[in-house]
């Protein structure tokens, strides 16, 4: 596994930095078609994870995913809280008792994303964070199965995440708060898709360096 929970403090710091750096533009997006609290929600989750950093860093991945999921669930109120908690609990369930390697993670991620779909009763094409996570999970699993080297895998995943964000621009929102706007939801990218892409890019930079 290119990353262990011992690197979790650095990872969460990188995620925190990228969200802070883009806070204004993300808030604008969530104000345009949502209620403007997406950055606040994520920052609450990040703060809670930072306060459990040392504990998480001492765990193995399956136990760390469980702790991360439970922490996020308790800390975040918005839709994104229960969806990310579901993602992390899904990673816990699907990495438990398996070898701690990239292949296990690459096979677990699509299953965890599937659980998020069920939780939010949503799928790709509905202008949500799933428009990033679904193609990213597929691309990760495929690139790992093809035996690509780590940097090529990261390049493919990051490109897919960016394409996913852009794909939300002209979509009609049919789930979450943006769906209340109907046709007026078109023309803006989705805040949750954007933060998913930023977090994925931050993790990729961390793995590379
Ligand atoms: P809230 O909408 O409760 O204020 P946030 O602002 O934190 O929560 O998160 C909003 C983001 O959550 C949206 O931009 C979208 O990406 C995602 N989202 C909302 N509803 C769903 C859903 N049913 N399935 C998947 N993602 C969703
Ligand atoms: Mg919101
Ligand atoms: Mg809200």
Instruction: Domain count for the chain, please give it.
Output: 1
pLDDT at 185: 87
CATH number (domain holding residue 51) = 1.25.40.340
Residue 177 DSSP one-character state: G
**ipTM score:** 0.99
**Pocket mutation for ligand 1, best pick of 80, 118, 127, 134 (most atoms within 8 Å of C-beta):** 80
Domain enclosing residue 132, as ranges: 5-208
Give the atom of ligand 1 at the shortest distance from the alpha carbon of 196. Answer: 16
Does 192 sit in the ligand 1 pocket, CB within 6 Å?
A: yes
Centroid of chain to Cα 115:
13
List the pLDDT tens digit at each of the 209 positions of the chain: 888 999 999 999 999 999 999 999 999 999 999 999 999 999 999 999 999 999 999 999 999 999 999 999 999 988 999 999 999 999 999 999 999 999 999 999 999 999 999 999 999 999 999 999 999 999 999 999 999 999 999 999 999 999 999 999 999 999 999 999 998 989 999 999 999 999 999 999 999 97
The whole-number pLDDT of residue 2 equals: 81
Q: Residues within 5 Å of ion ligand 3 by Cβ?
A: 35, 37, 78
Mutate to test the pocket of ligand 1, among 26, 30, 35, 129 (most ligand atoms within 8 A of CB): 129
Please, which contacts does 26-30 make with residues 24 or more away whose CB atoms are closer than 8 Å?
A: 26/191, 26/194, 26/195, 26/198, 27/191, 29/188, 29/189, 29/190, 29/191, 29/194, 30/191
- Model-wide pTM > 0.90: yes
Torsion 2-50-40-179 (CA) sign: positive
pLDDT of residue 198: 98
Q: Is the CB of 30 under 6 A from ligand 1?
A: yes
């Amino acid at each position: 596994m290119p990353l262990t929970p011992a690197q979790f403090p650095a990872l969460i710091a990188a995620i925190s930095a990228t969200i802070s750096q883009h806070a204004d533009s993300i808030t604008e997006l969530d104000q345009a078609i949502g209620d403007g609290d997406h950055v606040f929600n994520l920052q609450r989750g990040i703060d809670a994870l930072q306060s459990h950093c040392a504990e998480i860093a001492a765990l193995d991945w399956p136990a760390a995913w469980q702790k991360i999921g439970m922490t996020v669930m308790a800390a975040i109120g918005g839709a994104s809280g229960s969806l990310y908690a579901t993602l992390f609990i899904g990673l816990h369930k699907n990495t438990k008792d398996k070898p701690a390697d990239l292949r296990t993670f690459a096979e677990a991620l699509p299953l965890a994303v599937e659980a998020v779909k069920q939780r939010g009763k949503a799928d790709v094409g509905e202008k949500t964070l799933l428009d990033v996570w679904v193609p990213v999970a597929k691309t990760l699993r495929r690139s790992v199965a093809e035996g690509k080297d780590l940097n090529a895998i990261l390049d493919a995943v990051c490109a897919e995440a960016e394409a996913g964000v852009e794909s939300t621009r002209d979509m009609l929102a049919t789930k979450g708060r943006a769906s209340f706007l109907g046709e007026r939801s078109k023309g803006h990218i989705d805040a949750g898709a954007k933060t998913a892409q930023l977090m994925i890019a931050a993790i990729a930079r961390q793995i590379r360096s």
